[in-house]
């Protein structure tokens, strides 16, 4: 797609926009090609349906500019540099706000940042956030294997069993630890994804210590842009999507964007489907050259959600030793029952981003979002062997409603004191999340894991328990980015006050309140040749909504990290090489015992690691992404006797490489290889999950190379786990291991004008 997002909130608007747009020369869709009749027919139908939308845009474009020509799909913005909102060039982004909340060159940020650019998202076409991070250094995405109900990601070895590390446009998505109410943003609605490694609490308050995943949504464009696409794939996958944007008026005051998607498919697991309908309208308003407002909404309904359960290690990692020993549970096995299984999620997000520039020095911003979520869930799940063939099963249900608010007020100033140039950021943010409803629990009859029979699950002892959980946080932060000659210093402090309450059942809720001061400091030196070494320290803070065996809320997790690294960005190139070593410690960690709803404080974990990443647009026709991660994670304090052990789901080695090659005009091939090393299956380190290597493939064809009347149309073929390798992605204990993704294949035809 390759369309640059208009810079709405970065002080200046583009003065010269050359939007190039393609339309058929006739009011029909003349598509020919005797060897491509089915494809041509599909393209003709798509063209016919959208012609009515295309023609008004064409008329407007022709009447307002003499620069419209027939060269698409590109939109060229003249005289503007890359920003933190830009899609990047190829696999390389040079700016990010994830590490500073300001538009800062990545090479000047004293903390590790990886950016999944728009081109990478288009090439790899992830179905969810976890899949989008498959080729990201420091990220382990196999926490729940092939399940796609939630976006679980472990950064630098730390996984708090929630999506507490996800942001959308700089504001927390407010994932609830331990409940069923966590939100997903479909990758089709994203411009890019920035991943900040290590604690980000000075900027964002509560966050997982391993890092934050900052999602950047698609924004309105002040030049016309239109895209539709249709996808089919294995597992009965059918998907349609559209992305329409452009100016509302001829004076550059208002622009809109509407992005939508509908998807239905069978999951990897029998009797379970995935369905999604989502739409994201947005409107940008430039009241004056210095005052801008962006109104945003994201509406999503998932009538059916993916399966989310595991199988025992004996039967997946190892053959089951029963009277008919040597058997393995199918990776497509469903341990629930189709008469019971249900996961339905509705989420609505409404918000705005406001910015006013007072003068060349000072800018004020306010970003706000309201989130509503509704979840209905019924699930039967297996947990351990009942006998030689049958799994013990339990029942869980939930009805939850979530209301969440986040507002972030910022004042940014740029000024000079002597030889030092300052970018000062002062902020006040507030967030609150409230979840109420009820949870159900019970038992079900065992199921034969090798010859399952469905239809009569035998539910017994089902009880409903009311829940009421809320978490509130107010934070004040101060950051100063100082430039002195070739030195770049980043200093930050923050004071948070948080309150939490958790009611499970009736009676008195468990409550906690407290304050935490966090700090951050870093330094970068910029050499003339593009080399930039850096060193930094950062604190982390993450209040918990979880309870211990007595019903008391757990103490907040705290973290501290030292990191040293070096980046190399050759001048005038689209290449970024980076290396980082770190020491990260987290205190007040907790684990949940098997088949329990409470958590047990277990002590302190330390992780040390090395991360290497290379991103390069080597030539106009070749792009490369490669990374390697080494993680040495240990318990240094443990109430369970695990000192010196490695926590589960923490692979010691990970590596990946992805390359794009346009081997002839209009034909691009992409191939990727992912390696995940050995991990332990439990914190006692009683067994290991073996390593696995997966291959992904992509082929994209500009259909205009086949027939000029198909200009603007593309066909993309994609396959993940090309060789259909059967593997266990990870285990939490001997009763809960997760089968990894089986092969998926899809074909997407898209049309842009």
pLDDT of 78 above 60:
no
Distance CA 457, CA 157 (A): 38
CA count, 13 A, side-chain hemisphere, 629? 29
**36 and 105 both lie in a single domain:** no
The verdict on residue 325 lying in a domain is no
pLDDT of 517 above 70:
yes
How confident is residue 41, by pLDDT bands cut at 50, 70 and 90? very low
How confident is residue 242, by pLDDT bands cut at 50, 70 and 90? very high
Judging by beta carbons within 10 Å of its beta carbon (0-12, 13-18, 19+), is residue 662 exposed, middle or buried?
A: middle
Distance CA 180, CA 396 (A): 11
How confident is residue 147, by pLDDT bands cut at 50, 70 and 90? confident
The pLDDT score that the predictor gives to residue 544 is 83
Calculate the dihedral angle through the C-alpha atoms of 751, 114, 157, 603, rounding to the nearest 10 degrees. -120
Question: pTM for this structure?
Answer: 0.88
The pLDDT score that the predictor gives to residue 600 is 80
The verdict on residue 365 lying in a domain is yes
The pLDDT score that the predictor gives to residue 679 is 97
Task: Tell me the backbone φ, ψ of residue 696, rounded to 5 degrees.
Answer: -120, 155
162 secondary structure, DSSP code:
S
Distance CA 212, CA 199 (A): 8
Task: Tell me the backbone φ, ψ of residue 119, rounded to 5 degrees.
Answer: -65, -40
What DSSP string runs through 2-41? Answer: -BPPP-SSSS---SEEEE-----SSSS-----GGGHHHHH
**630 and 592 both lie in a single domain:** yes
Distance CA 557, CA 109 (A): 25
Handedness of CA 699, 704, 705, 706 (dihedral sign): positive
CB 362 within 8 A of CB 11: no
573 or 607: whose pLDDT is higher? 607
CB 390 within 8 A of CB 382: no
The pLDDT score that the predictor gives to residue 80 is 53
323 or 651: whose pLDDT is higher? 651
Q: Summarize pLDDT for 404-413 with one digit per residue, the tens.
A: 999 999 999 9
The pLDDT score that the predictor gives to residue 3 is 37
Distance CA 22, CA 19 (A): 10
The pLDDT score that the predictor gives to residue 551 is 76
Distance CA 368, CA 264 (A): 32
The pLDDT score that the predictor gives to residue 160 is 62
Task: Tell me the backbone φ, ψ of residue 121, rounded to 5 degrees.
Answer: -60, -40
Q: Summarize pLDDT for 166-180 with one digit per residue, the tens.
A: 999 999 998 877 788
Lowest mean pLDDT among 87-91, 195-199, 655-659, 740-744: 87-91
**241 and 347 both lie in a single domain:** yes
CB 678 within 8 A of CB 691: yes
How confident is residue 75, by pLDDT bands cut at 50, 70 and 90? very low
Residue 48 three-state SS = helix
The verdict on residue 296 lying in a domain is yes
Distance CA 300, CA 90 (A): 29
**51 and 103 both lie in a single domain:** no
Judging by beta carbons within 10 Å of its beta carbon (0-12, 13-18, 19+), is residue 112 exposed, middle or buried?
A: buried
Sequence-ordered strand ranges (E) for 203-272: 211-217, 225-233, 237-247, 254-266
How confident is residue 597, by pLDDT bands cut at 50, 70 and 90? low
Place of tokens 């109104």: 295
CB 308 within 8 A of CB 379: yes
38 or 700: whose pLDDT is higher? 700
How confident is residue 52, by pLDDT bands cut at 50, 70 and 90? very low
Task: From 403, 426, 550, 583, select the one nearest 494 (Cα to Cα).
Answer: 426
The pLDDT score that the predictor gives to residue 8 is 37
**51 and 160 both lie in a single domain:** no
The verdict on residue 4 lying in a domain is no
Distance CA 642, CA 611 (A): 26
**46 and 185 both lie in a single domain:** no
Q: Are strands 211-217 and 225-233 parallel, antiparallel or unpaired?
A: unpaired
Residue 219 three-state SS = coil
17 Cβ neighbours under 8 A, 6+ residues apart: 77, 78, 222, 223
The pLDDT score that the predictor gives to residue 9 is 37
Residues above pLDDT 90, as percent of the chain = 76
393 Cβ neighbours under 8 A, 6+ residues apart: 335, 380, 381, 382, 383, 443, 444, 445, 446, 447, 457
**What are the Cα distances from residue 422, in Å, to 361, 419, 484?**
10, 10, 9
**571 and 608 both lie in a single domain:** yes
CATH number of domain containing 482: 2.40.170.20
Q: Summarize pLDDT for 345-390 with one digit per residue, the tens.
A: 999 999 999 999 999 999 999 999 999 999 999 999 999 999 989 9
How confident is residue 593, by pLDDT bands cut at 50, 70 and 90? low
Q: How many domains does the chain have?
A: 2
The pLDDT score that the predictor gives to residue 122 is 95
**305 and 253 both lie in a single domain:** yes
Distance CA 49, CA 396 (A): 45
**56 and 111 both lie in a single domain:** no
The verdict on residue 240 lying in a domain is yes
Residues above pLDDT 70, as percent of the chain = 88
Buried/exposed code over 508-517 (b: 16+ C-beta within 10 A; e: otherwise): ebbebeeebe
Distance CA 120, CA 616 (A): 12
Distance CA 694, CA 720 (A): 8
Q: Summarize pLDDT for 482-511 with one digit per residue, the tens.
A: 999 999 999 999 999 999 999 988 778 889
The verdict on residue 545 lying in a domain is yes
**651 and 712 both lie in a single domain:** yes
**What are the Cα distances from residue 279, in Å, to 206, 263, 368, 460?**
29, 12, 19, 40
Lowest mean pLDDT among 341-355, 393-407, 546-560: 546-560
**141 and 54 both lie in a single domain:** no
**261 and 125 both lie in a single domain:** yes
559 Cβ neighbours under 8 A, 6+ residues apart: 199, 201, 209, 539, 540, 541, 542, 584, 585, 586, 587
554 C-beta neighbours (distance < 10 Å), count: 23
The pLDDT score that the predictor gives to residue 323 is 61
CB 286 within 8 A of CB 177: no
Calculate the dihedral angle through the C-alpha atoms of 337, 376, 277, 126, rounding to the nearest 10 degrees. -70
| H/E stretch holding 130 | helix 129-132
Could you tell me the two tokens for 324?
């008919």
Could you tell me the two tokens for 486?
């070739």
The pLDDT score that the predictor gives to residue 322 is 66
Sequence-ordered strand ranges (E) for 141-198: 154-155, 166-168, 171-172, 190-197
Average pLDDT over residues 277-295: 97
The verdict on residue 703 lying in a domain is yes
Task: From 333, 347, 351, select the one nearest 389 (Cα to Cα).
Answer: 333
Identify the domain containing residue 45 by its residue range: 23-69
The verdict on residue 113 lying in a domain is yes
Mean pLDDT of the chain: 87
Cα angle: 17, vertex 20, 22; to 5 degrees: 155
pLDDT of 45 above 60:
no
Distance CA 48, CA 43 (A): 9
* CA diameter of the chain: 82
């Amino acid at each position: 797609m390759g369309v640059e997002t208009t810079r709405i909130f970065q002080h200046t608007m583009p003065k010269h926009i050359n939007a190039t747009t393609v339309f058929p020369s006739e009011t029909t869709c003349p598509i020919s090609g005797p060897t491509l009749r089915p494809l041509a027919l599909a393209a003709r139908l798509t063209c016919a349906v959208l012609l009515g939308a295309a023609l008004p845009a064409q008329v407007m474009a022709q009447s307002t500019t003499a620069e419209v020509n027939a060269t698409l799909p590109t939109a060229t913005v003249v005289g503007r540099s890359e920003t933190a909102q830009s899609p990047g060039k190829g696999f390389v982004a040079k700016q990010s706000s994830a590490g500073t909340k300001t538009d800062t060159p990545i090479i000047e940020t004293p903390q590790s940042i990886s950016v999944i650019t728009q081109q990478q998202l288009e090439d790899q076409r992830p179905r969810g956030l976890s899949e989008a991070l498959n080729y990201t250094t420091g990220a382990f995405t196999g926490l729940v294997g092939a399940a796609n109900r939630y976006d679980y990601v472990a950064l630098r070895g730390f996984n708090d069993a929630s999506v507490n590390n996800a942001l959308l446009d700089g504001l927390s998505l407010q994932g609830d630890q331990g409940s069923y109410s966590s939100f997903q943003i479909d990758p089709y609605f994203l411009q890019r994804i920035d991943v900040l490694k290590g604690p980000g609490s000075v900027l964002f308050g509560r966050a997982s210590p391993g890092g934050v995943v900052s999602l950047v949504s698609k924004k309105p464009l002040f030049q016309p842009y239109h895209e539709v696409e249709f996808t089919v794939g294995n597992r009965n996958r059918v998907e349609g999507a559209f992305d329409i944007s452009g100016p509302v008026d001829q004076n550059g005051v208002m622009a809109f964007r509407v992005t939508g998607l509908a998807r239905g498919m069978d999951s990897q697991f029998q009797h379970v489907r995935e369905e999604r309908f989502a739409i994201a309208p947005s409107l940008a308003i430039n009241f004056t050259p210095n005052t801008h407002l962006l109104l945003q909404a994201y509406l999503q309904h998932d009538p059916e959600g993916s399966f989310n359960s595991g199988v025992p290690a004996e039967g997946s990692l190892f053959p089951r030793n029963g009277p008919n020993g040597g058997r393995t549970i199918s990776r497509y096995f469903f341990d629930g029952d189709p008469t019971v299984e249900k996961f339905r999620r509705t989420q609505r997000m409404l918000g705005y981003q406001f910015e006013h520039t007072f003068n060349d020095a000072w800018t004020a911003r306010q970003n706000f979002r309201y989130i509503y979520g509704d979840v209905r869930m019924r699930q039967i799940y297996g947990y351990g062997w009942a006998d030689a063939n049958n799994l013990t099963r339990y029942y869980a249900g939930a009805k939850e409603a979530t209301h969440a608010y986040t507002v972030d007020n910022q004042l940014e100033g740029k000024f000079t004191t002597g030889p030092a140039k300052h970018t000062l950021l002062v902020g006040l943010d507030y967030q609150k999340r409230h979840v109420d409803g009820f949870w159900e629990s019970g038992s079900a009859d065992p199921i034969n894991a090798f010859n399952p029979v469905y239809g009569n699950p035998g539910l017994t002892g089902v009880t409903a328990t009311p829940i009421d959980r809320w978490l509130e946080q107010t934070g004040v932060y101060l950051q100063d980015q100082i430039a002195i000659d070739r030195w770049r210093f980043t200093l930050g402090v923050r004071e948070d006050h948080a309150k939490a309450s958790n009611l499970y059942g009736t009676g008195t809720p468990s409550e906690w309140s407290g304050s935490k001061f966090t700090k951050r400091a870093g330094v970068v030196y910029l050499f003339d040749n593009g080399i930039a070494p850096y060193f930094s320290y950062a604190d982390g803070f993450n209040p918990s909504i979880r309870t211990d065996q007595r019903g008391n809320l757990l103490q907040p997790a705290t973290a501290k990290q030292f990191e040293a690294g070096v980046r190399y960005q050759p001048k005038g190139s689209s290449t970024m090489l980076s290396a980082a070593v770190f020491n990260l410690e987290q205190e007040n960690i907790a684990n949940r015992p098997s088949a329990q709803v409470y958590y047990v404080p277990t002590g302190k974990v330390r992780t040390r690691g090395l991360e290497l990443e290379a991103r390069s647009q080597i030539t106009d026709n070749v792009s490369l992404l490669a990374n390697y991660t080494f993680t040495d994670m240990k318990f240094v304090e443990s109430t369970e006797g695990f000192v010196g052990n490695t926590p589960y789901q923490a692979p010691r080695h990970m590596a990946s490489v992805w390359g794009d090659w346009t081997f002839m005009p209009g034909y691009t091939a992409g191939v990727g290889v992912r390696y995940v090393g050995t991990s332990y299956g439990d914190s006692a380190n009683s067994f290991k999950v073996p390593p696995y290597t997966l291959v992904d493939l992509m082929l994209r064809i500009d259909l205009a190379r086949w027939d000029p009347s198909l200009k603007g149309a593309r066909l993309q073929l994609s396959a993940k786990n090309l060789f259909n390798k059967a593997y266990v992605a990870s285990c939490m204990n001997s009763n809960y291991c997760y089968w990894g993704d089986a092969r998926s294949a899809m074909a997407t035809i898209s049309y842009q004008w």
